A = this chain, B = another copy of it.
């Protein structure tokens, strides 16, 4: 038995956005539910990776027998908060054939001609898959609100449209795990500085990242409103403290593990006569 420290409480209720939630009261340095240090966290992450992969295989197997269920991980965050690390270090444990990754950037001309959910709908995971949205339809109430890319009444309409949209997905068998990775403004400065210091990271840096940073408080307010308006019992938001990358990865992994465990997945039974197929095989 390992003597490493592990979760001492399920982080799901600790991170969930409920009535009265206040983003400005979340400590980005905290590690809710996990009393261990980085080395403990990395060990727990490695153990969880194998379980996550095994559970997704069962989800995929179930889909081959007609099970329509699927999981959608929605990732939102300020720049450098670690969305990419979640994708590579948490989702990366899952078989590529079971993952549907979609990154959403500024909408194209074609996308702008449609309702904001049009491009989202096209990237939903199939039955048995783990979908990952690296940014999402929430950009349409975050940057679009902060930058006034859409009129206030349209932004207002979108909160309700998002809730209706997600309700429909949940009713059709999607488990939605919505995560905001929460870093501090100081931590972002350090991480952007690191990208500027390292030539192998320059490609990740965009001067526009600083333009957005200058609007930090406006973004925090837009997040607060989006979290309040769209965290529902069927598709809750989780705000994950992310100044410690290892904790954020471990927490998101745990949220995914819990979502999959709650599905009570089993291997689908044979839909053929095993003895008969053994005989056919022996004769072949």
B-binding residues in A (CB < 8 A): 61, 64-65, 84, 87-88, 91-92, 94-97, 99, 101, 103, 132, 134, 189, 192-193, 196, 199-200, 202-207, 210, 213-214, 267-270, 272, 274, 277-278, 280-281, 284
Cross-chain contact B277 with A207 (CB below 8 angstroms)? yes
Cross-chain contact A87 with B92 (CB below 8 angstroms)? no
A207: shortest Cβ distance to chain B, in Å?
5
A87: which B residues are within 8 A, CB to CB? Answer: 95-97
Cross-chain contact B92 with A95 (CB below 8 angstroms)? yes
Cross-chain contact B189 with A267 (CB below 8 angstroms)? no
Cross-chain contact A214 with B284 (CB below 8 angstroms)? yes
A272: which B residues are within 8 A, CB to CB? Answer: 205-207
A277: which B residues are within 8 A, CB to CB? Answer: 196, 205, 207, 210
Cross-chain contact A203 with B95 (CB below 8 angstroms)? no
A97: which B residues are within 8 A, CB to CB? Answer: 84, 87-88, 101, 103, 134
A214: which B residues are within 8 A, CB to CB? Answer: 284
A193: which B residues are within 8 A, CB to CB? Answer: 278, 281
Cross-chain contact B196 with A278 (CB below 8 angstroms)? yes
Given the complex of chains A and B, what is the CA–CA distance between A192 and B272 in angstroms?
14
A194: shortest Cβ distance to chain B, in Å?
11
Please name 15 further chain A to chain B contacts, defined as beta carbons within 8 Å, in addition to the given A88-B97, A196-B277, sorted by A numbering.
Answer: A61-B204, A87-B96, A92-B92, A92-B96, A94-B96, A97-B101, A97-B134, A99-B99, A189-B284, A192-B281, A199-B270, A202-B270, A203-B267, A210-B280, A210-B281
A65: which B residues are within 8 A, CB to CB? Answer: 203
A46: shortest Cβ distance to chain B, in Å?
14
Cross-chain contact B281 with A189 (CB below 8 angstroms)? yes
